[in-house]
Structure 1
């Protein structure tokens, strides 16, 4: 019994391929439409997936356990922010804080052995490098004992700009800012850009917060960076930290950015974008399905006499229906496989040209190939049913 079924299926497949080959250019055009539709679905799903991954990477280096605090003036005024905050009080009021640091900003030129570059001067509290995940390549970061010293920690990009192959900037060297010489006690590793951080470590020079008055007459705290211990509720921490900081301020409000909320919002936007791309691919796929139905209807029209002979020899309606339905599915399956290869190639090429790291979307191939086969089955049903309903006598009259 199984051998008979296997032979019958293999015979049907053989007849399907022979019939599609006799259609010539029309079959090729229908196949091309299916390939374009299938590849569109696969490629667009992967492009949407890689776009979402690339967007999420922007926040990866900042970490979902980090809060960045800003202090806009109340009422939109120009009142100057305080020069100091009691960060220990905030730490005690908000359980779960692992590291907290404040910073003040100023930018300007700095000179080393006659070479000048512009940099961000960051007045830093001792725990800032832990809160910002700054990685020390050489030396150390600033400590609480350096409050009155002219010590500095330099970012990798600034050190590279000021140094030369024969005269690199190294530990113990001094750089001049205005009329002061700051001794380098630490050099940072080169790190990826962290988009939500108020500064980029590689482009900055860190000095003790108390020493900012040496280069700027009225330094003021611009940001506070908080890093939570593992497993904390970031939204709760943001509310508690805002309340603790607000108690120390009268003329400024506390605005806290929660990266996880931004990531969640970006994930929703990326999902919407992926659905839009999938809809565009589906439209293209439906167009290919219409082409398959058109080819199959013409196939039925040209093979009316063959259908009549088959029925006269004992073929049942379901045999005729299955034959034409198998031809439609065969044509669609070949197009789905070719489209999957073409779609993956197109998605990889797009990612390469965009500078993204390519990663395969899990649903791309199953959804692309599966939807193509369903479209072929759907648009092949009507021609197959039409062929099975032909009357043998009327079909045999055709010349």
Structure 2
């Protein structure tokens, strides 16, 4: 006589017996799998969300910003850009706009005149052109930007970090800071500037105001240029010689978006390391499933013997325990995928990034759990199927 075949529903029912009768053990075993999958999905999701946020930032700010700054002379001293550098750069054909800042030497910023001279908070003072904010794509957190009127008087706009260090939040007409020996009215506070981080810790004064009140010498220390996207490499190659024709080797030319891209590449390398750690956690979870299944076979020898004596074949016993291992792993994998997706969503919302959870990461994680569950349950399933009915019943 041929033994009765188990339907898919019957396989699921007998496979779930061990999970229903020992829920705490099943939960703890599935938890090990879930932690590994959650770690992998979370790492991939957060990394993908970070990249999406960076791409959105670059789309908004553009990748056509180039900066020119003085390098070092042959004697190792700080070089100086010519007074005509901005005007010369603006003559390059594909260049669409030019702006600049100039560092004001020996000028520190204090919240009031009672602050010790040594506590400068690391804030730099720059003279700024009126079109600077548009050139670098910096937004305003509060107040207004420098214009033709405020730029010639003792008025200042603070970078985001500089305002935080000085304890200045919302700008009002009575907000003042001491720069050098002169009081300046704070007219605005900038938002964080990803493409010009030097502005985040800066106090920005109008070009004419810095000359009149702070002794600014008029030399630009950073020139910002916007060019046509298609011509950025060509403009980058001639900027140094154009800004300082006599000493082109004393000029540094950079593309700020390249620094953000480098951060992205570094983040991807770090993601690979975290994925490896997630894989180790998943492997440990698989060992936990194997341990659970071995113990389950030892504890349920009476059940195995009874089923064998009632006509169950070795293949059916093997299928039962293999199905139990797969169900246990699948529960852990699905729980880990949900947990990892939730962590990614929460962190992305907190950082202000788009939420991106790649489908391949979720599907791959669940698939990996099934593979590990199958491998972990194979030996216990084979061992259970090899128990003779009389031996299994005699062990009770």
SS across alignment from 1:240: helix
SS across alignment from 1:232: helix
Contiguous gaps of at least 5 residues in structure 2: none
Cα shift at 1:189: 6.6
Match of residue 361 from structure 1? 357
CA gap of 1:163–1:294, structure 2 versus 1, over 3 A, is closer
Mapped contact 1:124–1:208 kept (Cα < 8 A): no
Q: Deviations over 1:45-74 (max 9, x none)?
A: 445456666778887876422112211122
**Residue 278 (structure 2) pairs with residue 274 (structure 1):** no
Distance 1:201 1:286 in 2: 46
Distance 2:138 2:347 in 1: 33
**Residue 132 (structure 2) pairs with residue 133 (structure 1):** no
Any residues of structure 2 matched to 1:148-163 within 5 Å, and which? Answer: 150=152, 154-155=156-157
Q: Please give the TM-score of this superposition, normalised by the length of structure 2.
A: 0.73
Distance 2:132 2:24 in 1: 69
Distance 1:392 1:163 in 2: 81
Match of residue 204 from structure 1? 204
CA gap of 1:163–1:134, structure 2 versus 1, over 3 A, is closer
CA gap of 1:260–1:128, structure 2 versus 1, over 3 A, is closer
Q: Deviations over 1:69-105 (max 9, x none)?
A: 2111223533651441243443444x43211123322
SS across alignment from 1:221: coil
CA gap of 1:291–1:167, structure 2 versus 1, over 3 A, is closer
Distance 2:189 2:24 in 1: 62
CA gap of 1:217–1:191, structure 2 versus 1, over 3 A, is closer
Any residues of structure 2 matched to 1:54-73 within 5 Å, and which? Answer: 63-73=62-72
CA gap of 1:303–1:165, structure 2 versus 1, over 3 A, is closer
**Residue 236 (structure 2) pairs with residue 232 (structure 1):** no
**Residue 386 (structure 2) pairs with residue 386 (structure 1):** no
CA gap of 1:56–1:273, structure 2 versus 1, over 3 A, is farther
CA gap of 1:392–1:192, structure 2 versus 1, over 3 A, is same
Mapped contact 1:73–1:251 kept (Cα < 8 A): no
CA gap of 1:343–1:250, structure 2 versus 1, over 3 A, is closer
1:284 to 274, 278, 281: 281
CA gap of 1:268–1:133, structure 2 versus 1, over 3 A, is closer
**Residue 373 (structure 2) pairs with residue 376 (structure 1):** yes
Cα shift at 1:280: 1.2
Distance 1:224 1:356 in 2: 31
Mapped contact 1:35–1:339 kept (Cα < 8 A): yes
Distance 1:214 1:28 in 2: 71
Match of residue 27 from structure 1? 26
Distance 1:341 1:162 in 2: 39
Q: Between Structure 1 and Structure 2, how many residues are aligned?
A: 378
Q: Deviations over 1:112-134 (max 9, x none)?
A: xx999x98654445654442235
Match of residue 172 from structure 1? none
SS across alignment from 1:283: helix
Distance 1:164 1:40 in 2: 43
Cα shift at 1:270: 0.8
Distance 1:55 1:243 in 2: 32
2:94 to 93, 96, 101: 96
Contiguous gaps of at least 5 residues in structure 1: 170-174
Q: Deviations over 1:180-216 (max 9, x none)?
A: 999x9x965743244634434983112249x727632
Distance 1:323 1:92 in 2: 79
**Residue 77 (structure 2) pairs with residue 78 (structure 1):** yes
Any residues of structure 2 matched to 1:106-255 within 5 Å, and which? Answer: 106=104, 108=107, 122-125=126-129, 127-133=131-137, 141-142=147-148, 150=152, 154-155=156-157, 190-194=190-194, 196-200=196-200, 203-208=203-208, 212=211, 215-216=214-215, 218-229=217-228, 231-232=229-230, 234-246=232-244, 248-250=245-247, 253-255=250-252
Cα shift at 1:178: 8.1
SS across alignment from 2:224: strand
Distance 1:298 1:394 in 2: 17
Q: Please give the TM-score of this superposition, normalised by the length of structure 1.
A: 0.73
CA gap of 1:181–1:356, structure 2 versus 1, over 3 A, is closer
Mapped contact 2:314–2:386 kept (Cα < 8 A): yes
**Root mean square deviation of aligned Cα:** 4.7
Distance 1:180 1:199 in 2: 21
Distance 1:79 1:342 in 2: 53
Distance 1:135 1:271 in 2: 29
